[in-house]
Amino acid sequence: MYPSLSALRRVLAALAVIVFAATADRSFAAEKIRFAVGPFQPTPTDTRKAFEPFFQYLAGKLGRDYELVVTNDWAGIAIALANSQVDVAWMGPWGYVLAHHEGGAEAIATVKYEGKPTYHAIILGHPSLDIKSWPADAKGKSISFADPGSTSGWLIPTHWLRAQGVDPKSFFKYREGASHAANVTAVATRQVDLATDYDRNTRAMLEKGVIQESDIKVVWTSDPLPNDALAVRKGLDGATIKAIEDAVVAMTEEQAKTIMPKHYTGWVPATHASYKLIEEAGISVGRIKTK
Q: Reduce the secondary structure of the chain to three states and give it as a string.
A: CCCCHHHHHHHHHHHHHHHHHHHHHHHHHHCCEEEEECCCCCCHHHHHHHHHHHHHHHHHHHCCCEEEEECCCHHHHHHHHHCCCCCEEEECHHHHHHHHHHHCCEEEEEEEECCECEECEEEEECCCCCCCCCCHHHCCCEEEEECCCCHHHHHHHHHHHHHCCCCHHHHCEEEEEECHHHHHHHHHCCCCCEEEEEHHHHHHHHHHCCCCHHHCEEEEECCCEECCEEEECCCCCHHHHHHHHHHHHCCCHHHHHHHCCCCEEEEEECCHHHHHHHHHHHHHCCCCCCC
The predicted structure's pLDDT at residue 255: 96
Mean pLDDT, residues 154-161 taken together: 98
The structural domains of the chain, ordered by start, are 31-118+226-284 (3.40.190.10), 121-222 (3.40.190.10)
With cut-offs at 50, 70 and 90, classify the pLDDT of residue 15: very low
With cut-offs at 50, 70 and 90, classify the pLDDT of residue 3: very low
With cut-offs at 50, 70 and 90, classify the pLDDT of residue 31: confident
With cut-offs at 50, 70 and 90, classify the pLDDT of residue 26: very low
The predicted structure's pLDDT at residue 27: 40
Is the pLDDT score of 6 beyond 60?
A: no
The predicted structure's pLDDT at residue 289: 86
The predicted structure's pLDDT at residue 128: 93
Higher pLDDT: 9 or 158? It is 158
Is the pLDDT score of 253 beyond 70?
A: yes
Global confidence as pTM: 0.85
The predicted structure's pLDDT at residue 259: 97
Percent above pLDDT 90 for the chain: 84
The predicted structure's pLDDT at residue 272: 98
The predicted structure's pLDDT at residue 164: 97
Report pLDDT digits (tens) over 85-136.
999 999 999 999 999 999 999 999 999 999 999 999 999 999 999 999 999 9
Percent above pLDDT 70 for the chain: 89
Per the prediction, the chain carries an average pLDDT of 90
Mean pLDDT, residues 174-185 taken together: 96
Report pLDDT digits (tens) over 187-222.
999 999 999 999 999 999 999 999 999 999 999 999
The predicted structure's pLDDT at residue 76: 87
Higher pLDDT: 48 or 42? It is 48
With cut-offs at 50, 70 and 90, classify the pLDDT of residue 30: low
With cut-offs at 50, 70 and 90, classify the pLDDT of residue 4: low
